[in-house]
Amino acid sequence: MSSIPYWRLSGFYFFYFAFVGAMAPYWALYLRSLEFNAFQIGVLMAPLHVMRMFAPNIWGHIADRTGKRVAIVQFAALVSLVSFIGVFLGTGFWWMLAVMSFISFFWSASLPLVEATTLSHLGDRTDRYGKIRLWGSVGFILVVVGLGWLLDHAAIRTLIWVVLGLLVGIVLFARFIPEAEIVTLEAVHTPLGHVVRQREVMALLVAAILMAAAHGPYYTFFTIYLVDAGYSKSLAGWLWALGVICEVGVFLVMPRILKRISAETVVLITLVVAALRFLLIGWWVDNMPVLLFAQLLHAITFAAYHAAAIGLIHRYFRGRNQARGQALYNSLAFGIGGTVGTLYAGAVWQHYGGAFTFTTAAGFAGVAALVFAWKGRPCHTP
């Protein structure tokens, strides 16, 4: 990887997903400490997803027009850092919603552009993507375990200082990512709409929306579910970390797996496994062996799924469509899907409790598997 800016890209992924490792497991706990109810927590977590519906497409379009992907990432990271200071200035519902919305609009610009930049640097060596992306998993693990221990011994407000520090790390590493040449392999540019209308692309995008929606209860309420079931915050952190530790191993072996099994087959398997996993979490949260097994499945439902899906998006969206393709994938899956997942999780949790909420999540994953099995493979007609 001598010609690839391995450590600069890896460092960005490390801090980006370290930030996720602080927000996804623990931000809901912080919001509950401010005496918000389950539905309000769902609404306050939603901007992280809502802004992904349109913001990445705006940034991706600008990046593809100007070729300045990294400059946009650097600007967005800095504004996200400055915006986060707002959480120190007020704790009212509408204030927090406004602050989280503003942060999310800029924060959501970063990942699809860095994904496109990373894949451009890799060129035809896209099988090495996992070895760079795994550092995001390492950052997530260190933060989720460390914060779990810290929050068992310190006030929950400590969380906002940790998040601030992680945003500083994102800003610093964004500063050192080099721009990548955007290579257009097509003799004629294919319009974005034409690519999207292909049946296998549409199936992948619909399945991605449903898969993200299925993860809504997990990313919003899993830690609360564990704490309410009697687990300590430290043990909750380790349970989060267990899944991500396995995820690192899968990222390392995915290049070999994808040489033997098609990306389409991998995606379908992961959707089925996700349905099983959320049923196990929903109904056996108090059974440690079952819960451990469910967390091991995170290696499949996240790492294997993500590596295969990103590879398919990179295959379908070529040339000048690369950044917009990654942005479209992020905005539909994590934007629409994530928003639906967060909002239904809050509403269902408020009225029916955790078990039924995770059962609903399993239903979303099951439907995603059916959609992808039906239309997800390329149609090779003469």
For residue 243, the model assigns a pLDDT of: 83
d(CA 58, CA 85): 24
Which is higher by pLDDT, 104 or 283?
Answer: 283
User: Is the pLDDT confidence value at 69 over 80?
Assistant: yes
| DSSP assignments along 188-211, one per residue | SPPPHHHHHTSHHHHHHHHHHHHH
Which residues lie below 8 Å from residue 380, measured CB to CB, with a gap of 6+? none
- 227-282: per-residue pLDDT in tens? 999 999 899 999 988 988 887 788 778 878 888 888 889 999 999 999 999 999 99
Which residues lie below 8 Å from residue 325, measured CB to CB, with a gap of 6+? 116, 192, 195, 313, 314, 316, 317
How many CB atoms are located within 10 Å of the residue 35 CB? 8
Structure tokens at 118: 């990373």
Q: Where are the alpha helices (DSSP H) in the chain?
A: 6-33, 38-45, 47-50, 55-66, 69-84, 93-107, 110-122, 129-153, 158-174, 192-196, 199-214, 216-228, 233-260, 263-283, 288-296, 298, 305-316, 322-330, 338-352, 354-375
Nearest to 29 by CA among 166, 144, 136, 141: 144
User: Mean of the pLDDT values across residues 340-349?
Assistant: 91
User: Is the pLDDT confidence value at 300 over 50?
Assistant: yes
* Percent of the chain topping pLDDT 70: 91
Instruction: Check if the beta carbon of residue 281 is closer than 8 Å to that of residue 287.
Output: no
Confidence of residue 381 (pLDDT cuts 50, 70, 90): very low
Instruction: Tell the CATH topology of 6-375.
Output: Growth Hormone; Chain: A; (1.20.1250)
For residue 187, the model assigns a pLDDT of: 45
CA separation, residue 106 to residues 59, 142, 167 (Å):
9, 25, 12
- 90-114: per-residue pLDDT in tens? 999 999 999 999 898 888 778 778 8
User: Is the pLDDT confidence value at 148 over 50?
Assistant: yes
User: Is the pLDDT confidence value at 170 over 80?
Assistant: yes
For residue 168, the model assigns a pLDDT of: 95
- Least confident range from 144-158, 167-181, 213-227, 268-282: namely 167-181
Which is higher by pLDDT, 370 or 252?
Answer: 370
